[in-house]
Amino acid sequence: CRISVVNTYYIGRMLGSDDAADVAVAEKVGLIFPNQNDRGTHVNISGAGVMKYAPNRENAIKFIEFLTGDWAQNAFTQLNHEYTAVPGAMKTSPVKGTGPFKEDAINASALGENQAEAVRIFDRAGWQ
């Protein structure tokens, strides 16, 4: 049994490749989303915000609105094979065929609160 941890967008890139060998390998991969009966699967996150004293606040807000709009969300899906940040915005993508999954609903601020302890654990384990 071979197992690997991978971001789904790598599978999407391989499935959408012009190289038949990449597609053949990707078609042999079975994706499993862990913890579906519990907390859900970890998802990578990206964030956007506007600083309190941003000199171009209105343009910053327009840019965030653009990034969360249909065109940009579809571009993330089509060009990088990522799941969208806006629920339901994914129209087509090789990764869309992996089906729905339960996402871990962890509060992102908890990640920062636990970062120092996580680094200590990594150091003790010798992780690099």
- Name the residue ranges covered by the structural domains of the chain: 8-125
3-61: pLDDT as tens digits = 888 888 898 889 889 999 999 998 998 888 899 999 999 888 888 999 999 999 999 99
Residue that is written with structure tokens 């910053």 in the block: 60
Tokens of 25: 């390998």
pTM of the model: 0.69
Residue % of the chain over a pLDDT of 70: 92
**What are the residues whose beta carbons fall under 8 Å from the beta carbon of 25, sequence distance 6 or more?**
14
Classify the C-alpha dihedral 109-42-82-90 as positive or negative.
negative
Other beta carbons less than 10 A from residue 94's beta carbon: 20
Residue that is written with structure tokens 């690099």 in the block: 128
